[in-house]
A and B are shown apart, each in its own frame.
Chain A
């Protein structure tokens, strides 16, 4: 999720196939196929009971808090977390850890301010909650737009990463193979969503979370065992092996260089901690449980699972820095850190060329693949639901569409969104993955969170307030990135590689930060306030008492 993911696809040199790695790849491929068969089987099994719109969008609201907690973990611990954070720690030491903390603390915002109130007052999508006491058509259009934009950015990041990673792990080279991988991931994701709906997708997330936790715990225990469970020794060897000494264990190695990079880090930190509670694919998970109390339980479980996972990424990251040496270490560097976890698994299994190493490498690679599949399915479902429920049924049909029609449209939308994601991911392989994910968090925090919080806690909030905060947050966060060094003006690195998206001959940058959060998030709140007080609309206040009672007591909530 960090800069280590930068230029994932463009900078990866491909594995040279040798006799040993052929065996590894056969094993890896077998496990990948098993993961696919398992998830496809789950999807068919779950689809038997998907009949109504509530089944399709919200899994019939039949999941328990524990199940949904695992599913939230499955949705949240993306490939960028699993491979990116441990990779960031392996390369940048302590600075990589800062991401884990932001991603975890963010869950307190969701727990205290959003989860239960949203469960009680919404139905299927984020827009249901925002449009509760507002004019339906403009608010739903805005909320659906922002849902789709955030989800597509997040989706692209996962798919571009998936293409590069899977082809690397399987040792297949060349653009055709990478494009085929992206297309295959896209087709699978459309399949999960079209056939399985929310039930199938949720079970895929649960299985993935269990696999991911199992794999992470296994490797962590093996790493710690190498050091007699002495953390200090592990850190010491990581610092020595990194070649950077004790600075490797201290903050600032990566972000503490200039004043701008320090402000950029604060901006990123704010976006991460406020983005989670505005991510549409996380918000819709709260609708899959029967009551607000179960929504609370699911967040508590999610915090436990995600927190444990991020603690273990610390061991994986420092473990990779300490234990992976020689050629494998160079491969971690060349992959921008993304291969730290798989190569660490190989190292603790006995190293390259050993059976133990090959088995663990294949296992962790398959877990990473399951992770990617589950996250893209969740994102596609969320966007498709918003298209069908908000744009088709509410805006276009003015609420006159039947549940069966909505499901049909959602399935068509899943095809279209999946197709768009494949179409964008194939030429977009030179896009910076970190830029896409961090942008998704910044957009969610700028466009969605202010509107959600104002709607729940501020009586006077009205339609214009929603529109200004959503569109203002959306345009300012995306706009500032376009004029940031991420897109142009960074120039070349010492190896002559272009550090920005656009060719070096074009420089449109004037905004100095890579993450827009520190500007666009306060702007989203400010515009929500200004839009509200400049509008004469007071009708939104009429239903505020109803919204308050319903959100806090569950009176009249969807069952």
Chain B
């Protein structure tokens, strides 16, 4: 059960929530995850729909016995690894420094 925050902690949360840094952190986070989630979900659904309804396209052989369906499926792996890697880089650069600084401020204010 989350204990009610102490008055100092509550004040620290409210103050940090109103800062420009927190607004920047939120913007950096949502600016990445919202479009990215829409993108990878659309890409995945496109794959599911193509498997169902675009058999002629999916069955086209590219090299030997390797067809578009297999390549499309493998590309889902590539994009998943890619988005994960990109997020790791992005969050370390654009989010973590702000979060760390705000967390330090909280520690000082809440535990006074």
Contacts and interface: CB of A to CB of B under 8 A. Distances in A.
Contacts of A251: 50-52, 55, 58, 69
A107 B77 CA distance: 11
Nearest to B40: A108
Contacts of A546: 5, 10, 13-14, 17
A528 to B, nearest CB: 18
B66 A108 contact: no
A556 interface: yes
Contacts, number: 166
Given A105-B76, A552-B29, A556-B5, A250 B59 contact: yes
Interface string A227-255: 00001110110010000001001111001
Nearest to B9: A556
A549 B88 contact: no
B55 A556 contact: no
A262 B77 CA distance: 23
A54 B33 CA distance: 31
Given A136-B1, A307-B77, A556 B106 contact: yes
Interface in A516-559: 545-546, 548-550, 552-556
B105 to A, nearest CB: 8
B65 A246 contact: yes
Interface stretch (A25-33, A145-153, A296-304): A296-304
A371 B14 CA distance: 46
9 contacts: A101-B44, A109-B37, A112-B33, A113-B33, A235-B64, A235-B66, A252-B55, A307-B81, A553-B16
Given A104-B76, A296-B88, A556-B9, 9 more contacts: A105-B40, A108-B84, A233-B65, A251-B69, A393-B1, A545-B14, A545-B17, A555-B16, A556-B110
B65 A265 contact: no
Contacts of A111: 84, 87
Contact of B103 (A236, A394, A553): A553
Interface residues of A, number: 58
Contacts of B76: 101, 104-105
Interface string B45-85: 10111111101001101011111011001101100110111
B26 A552 contact: yes
Contacts of B22: 549, 552-553
A273 B44 contact: yes
B17 A549 contact: yes
Contacts of B70: 94, 97, 235, 249
Contacts of A273: 41, 44
B63 A555 contact: no
Interface string B85-112: 1011001000010111011001100100
Interface in B1-32: 1-2, 5, 9-10, 12-14, 16-17, 22, 25-26, 29, 32
A266 interface: yes
B46 to A, nearest CB: 11
B40 to A, nearest CB: 5
A90 B64 CA distance: 20
Number of chain B interface residues as a range: 35 or more
Interface of A: 94, 97-98, 101-102, 104-105, 107-109, 111-113, 123, 128, 131-132, 136, 231-233, 235-236, 239, 246, 249-252, 255-256, 262, 265-266, 269, 273, 293, 296, 299-300, 303-304, 307, 310-311, 393-394, 399, 545-546, 548-550, 552-556
A232 B25 contact: no
Given A293-B96, A553-B16, A105 B80 contact: yes
A399 B61 CA distance: 63
B106 A300 contact: no
Given A239-B65, A250-B67, A553 B26 contact: no
A269 B87 CA distance: 24
Nearest to A274: B41
A98 B96 CA distance: 35
A304 B85 CA distance: 10
Across the A-B interface, give the 9 residue pairs with the lowest CB-CB distance, nearest first: A232-B64, A555-B106, A251-B51, A235-B65, A545-B17, A546-B13, A112-B33, A269-B48, A553-B102
A235 to B, nearest CB: 4
A97 B67 CA distance: 14
A107 B82 CA distance: 13
Given A113-B33, A128-B2, A265 B52 contact: yes
B47 A101 contact: yes
Contact of A112 (B9, B36, B65, B100): B36
A113 B103 CA distance: 20
A537 to B, nearest CB: 17
Contacts of B74: 311
Nearest to A263: B52
Contacts of B98: 553
B83 to A, nearest CB: 6
Nearest to A128: B2
Nearest to B37: A112
B60 to A, nearest CB: 10
